[in-house]
């Protein structure tokens, strides 16, 4: 997968996996990674799917309606890529924290839904429930930060509540930060994510 790997000054820190929104690239969230932890290594990955030229991590049938077969295939592809990247860049595969926005948050959520040890934690900005009616792996103690908009037209508030419930039932420790700025990724929610990271992630 097309990506940027930037080695951090502190290799004991988790690797921040950056996952952009629809139409983004691997450049987009680099400043966000810096705001969360400027000493951590960063792996920023571009989605492999193109929707009219806009990169995404998996296909959708309509806005908010996912192509499940492709979602499952792309989630596996990303999970395998993480293993390959860990070998190539010599970092700990079991110490990856995802930071995703919108479509990027949805593929990060899908990693959690499908693989027990894909991520050590996740910051999900404006995510949806990636799949319904499936049993989640054991996510005991896994820290998850979710930021959401009460008035987000793309990711309705109920999606956030359902996602919180599903992840919590699987054992994850979920913190939800609410805002009222639609689908926007705001400075205040990034600050809240940074505070959460400093509390939960060592
Ligand atoms: C998705 O397709 O993942 C969601 O609708 C969010 C987005 O527009 O990327």
Pocket test residue of 24, 46, 57, 60 for ligand 1, highest count of atoms within 8 A of CB: 60
- What pLDDT is attached to residue 53? 97
- The third-level CATH classification (topology) of the domain covering 3-200 is Rossmann fold (3.40.50)
Rounded-to-integer distance, Cα 141 and Cα 52, Å: 39
Residue 119 confidence (pLDDT): 98
pLDDT of residue 111: 98
Is 183 among the residues known to form the active site?
A: yes
The DSSP symbol for 59 reads -
**Closest ligand 1 atom to the C-alpha of 105?**
3
Centre of ligand 1 from the C-alpha of residue 167, in Å: 19
pLDDT of residue 181: 97
Determine the Cα–Cα distance for residues 24 and 17; give it in Å rounded to an integer: 15
* In the chain, where the domains are located: 3-200
Please work out whether the CB of residue 106 comes within 6 Å of at least one atom of ligand 1.
Answer: yes
How would you write the pLDDT of the chain (202 residues) with one tens digit per residue? 999 999 999 999 999 999 999 999 999 999 999 999 999 999 999 999 999 999 999 999 999 999 999 999 999 999 999 999 999 999 999 999 999 999 999 999 999 999 999 999 999 999 999 999 999 999 999 999 999 999 999 999 999 999 999 999 999 999 999 999 999 999 999 999 999 999 998 7
Q: What is the distance between the alpha carbons of residues 8 and 10, in angstroms, rounded to a whole number?
A: 5
Report the nearest-CA residue for atom 5 of ligand 1: 64
Rounded to 5 degrees, what are φ and ψ at 165?
-65, -45
Query: What is the structure's pLDDT at 172?
Result: 98
Distance separating alpha carbons of residues 197 and 78, to the nearest angstrom: 23
For residue 22, how far is its CA from the centre of ligand 1 (angstroms)? 6
User: Is the model's pTM score more than 0.75?
Assistant: yes
Q: Of 44, 102, 110, 147, which residue is the catalytic one?
A: 102
CA–CA distance, 189 with 181 (Å, rounded to integer): 10
pLDDT value for 98? 98
Tokens of residue 95, six digits = 């110490």
How long, in residues, is the chain? Answer: 202
pLDDT of residue 157: 97
């Amino acid at each position: 997968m097309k990506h940027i790997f930037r080695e951090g000054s502190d290799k004991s820190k988790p690797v921040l996996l950056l996952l952009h929104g629809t139409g983004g690239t691997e450049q987009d969230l680099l400043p966000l990674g810096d705001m969360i932890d400027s000493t951590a290594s960063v792996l920023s990955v571009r989605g492999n799917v193109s929707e009219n030229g806009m990169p995404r991590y998996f296909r959708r049938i309509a806005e908010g309606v996912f192509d499940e077969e492709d979602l499952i295939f792309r989630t596996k592809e990303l999970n395998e890529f993480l293993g390959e990247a860990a070998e190539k860049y010599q970092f700990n595969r079991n110490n990856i924290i995802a930071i995703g926005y919108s479509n990027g948050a949805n593929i990060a959520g899908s990693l959690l839904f499908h693989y027990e040890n894909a991520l050590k934690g996740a910051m999900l900005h404006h995510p949806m429930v990636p799949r319904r009616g499936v049993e989640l792996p054991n996510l005991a103690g896994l820290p998850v930060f979710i930021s959401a908009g009460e008035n987000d037209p793309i990711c309705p508030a109920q999606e956030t509540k359902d996602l919180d419930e599903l992840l919590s039932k699987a054992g994850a420790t979920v913190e939800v930060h609410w805002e009222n700025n639609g689908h926007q990724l705001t400075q205040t929610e990034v600050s809240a994510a940074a505070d959460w990271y400093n509390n939960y992630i060592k």
